[in-house]
Amino acid sequence: MTLRLGNLEIATPVVLAPMAGITNAAYRRLCAEQGAGLYVCEMITSRGLVEGDQHTKDMLVFDDLETVRSVQLYGTDPVYVGKAAEILCAEYGVAHIDLNFGCPVPKVTRKGGGGALPWKRNLLGEILRHAVTAAEPYGVPVTMKTRKGIDADHLTYLDAGRIAEESGIAAIALHGRTVSQAYSGLADWDAIAALKASVTTIPVLGNGDVWEAADALRMVEQTGVDGVVVGRGCLGRPWLFRDLAAAFAGESVATLPTLGEVSTMMRRHAELLCRHMGEERGCKEFRKHVTWYLKGFSAGGAMRRDLGLVRSLADLDALLDELDPEEAFPVSELGAPRGRQGAPREKVVLPEGWLDDTDGIGCEIAEDTVSGG
């Protein structure tokens, strides 16, 4: 089973979802070493790229292994999105652009962006068309990711699928939650199946609650989607992509690494971060991953604290050597949610009057120039 996005063919129909502060070049390299798939760069803002924001430029760093450069782009203004798409194609040599219409973060939705934007159908269509037109001369496919809607009373995903098809988008991915749900509760795979039934000319990808390779296969079977998007499921478990590649190839492989094997993965992750960022910054960046890697293992509080303060690869090596390499993987963690979850929001932060009109353009809401989560 492969995934075709325009003229781009992905050997395994699996996409790594951009996660702010996580899916940098080092982490994408680590995941790519495990299995085939498409690994998307952290979300950047179109305005930040067009106006030359240095932080945005710093995020557009790629590893030598990334022969297929993929970037997620955020924007609320069609002209800025189109210009940014052309810059990505002409100056950064990207092979794939994904447009973000799924972010639930209040600082994004209050400007009408992310998961709030598809409520404005004309604006959505204009953004998609500008991006597709800009990328088309370079043969770069443009895809989009969205959510079910703003909340249960303001659903947008079926309209978004229709507009995507009409605008020349190469594929659409649906996270089976609303903006108001954020990451709480269960993903609605029935909605993903409904979108797949509605969209007939482009691939549909499913996102939400893929924690193990078996979940991905079950999603495909239940919804008919053409591929899956993995986010929180790979936190502290980059070998999930190896399992996914095996599962989609018809092989029954489920990785249950010992603590020693997890330690080796942790060391590789830290090494790659240091290679890209320098040792001090790379070790600092690695600290946030320690809890995810050790989730369910018996490593005590003192060890976790020390690993969370590591300042050099030598310090990391000394601490990892203290772990029991033979400790078995905690099977109780299989299928368990990872990363942020939280509670549903009573009210989504939106621009004033945003819900009054579904067909407006709404470009008076200016996006930030600074990229990142």
The rounded distance, in Å, linking the Cα atoms of 252 and 360 is: 50
* Structure-token pair, residue 206: 């499913």
CATH number of the domain enclosing 134: 3.20.20.70
- Given pLDDT bands bounded at 50, 70 and 90, which one contains residue 367? low
- Given pLDDT bands bounded at 50, 70 and 90, which one contains residue 366? low
Q: Is residue 287 part of a domain?
A: yes
Residue 272 and residue 148 share a domain = no
According to DSSP, the residues that pair with 15 across neighbouring strands are 38, 229
pLDDT at 234: 96
The residue type of 242 is: R
Q: What value does the mean pLDDT take over residues 262-275?
A: 98
Q: Which of 311, 330, 349 is the last residue of a domain?
A: 330
Q: What is the share, in percent, of the chain residues with pLDDT greater than 90?
A: 89
Q: Is residue 238 part of a domain?
A: yes
CATH number of the domain enclosing 271: 1.10.1200.80
Contact 146, 156 (CB under 8 A): yes
Q: Is residue 362 part of a domain?
A: no
Three-state secondary-structure class, residue 250: coil
pLDDT at 157: 98
What is residue 105's DSSP assignment?
Answer: -
Max CA distance (Å), the chain: 60
Contact 111, 76 (CB under 8 A): yes
The rounded distance, in Å, linking the Cα atoms of 316 and 266 is: 9
Whether the pLDDT of residue 371 is over 80: the answer is no
Residue 228 and residue 288 share a domain = no
Domain carrying residue 207: 3-254
Residue 267 and residue 227 share a domain = no
Q: Is 363 a catalytic residue?
A: no
Q: Which of 330, 347, 365 is the last residue of a domain?
A: 330
3-state helix, strand, coil in the chain (%, to 5): 45, 15, 45
Selected catalytic residue, list 31, 89, 103, 234: 103
The residue type of 202 is: I
Q: What value does the mean pLDDT take over residues 247-264?
A: 92
What is residue 359's DSSP assignment?
Answer: S
Task: List binding-site positions for FMN.
Answer: 18-20, 72, 145, 175, 231-232
The model's pLDDT over 17-73, given as tens digits with 9 standing for 90+, comes to 999 999 999 999 999 999 989 999 999 999 999 999 999 999 999 999 899 999 999
Residue 298 and residue 224 share a domain = no
pLDDT at 33: 96
Residue 270 and residue 205 share a domain = no
Q: Is residue 182 part of a domain?
A: yes
Q: Is residue 319 part of a domain?
A: yes
Whether the pLDDT of residue 365 is over 60: the answer is no
Residue 263 and residue 138 share a domain = no
The rounded distance, in Å, linking the Cα atoms of 148 and 50 is: 30
Domain count within the chain: 2
Residues shown for the chain = 373
Whether the pLDDT of residue 218 is over 90: the answer is yes
pLDDT at 254: 76
CA distances from 295 to 116, 236, 373 (A): 33, 8, 24
The rounded distance, in Å, linking the Cα atoms of 37 and 67 is: 12
The rounded distance, in Å, linking the Cα atoms of 288 and 218 is: 30
67 contacts: CB under 8 Å, gap ≥ 6: none
Q: Is residue 354 part of a domain?
A: no
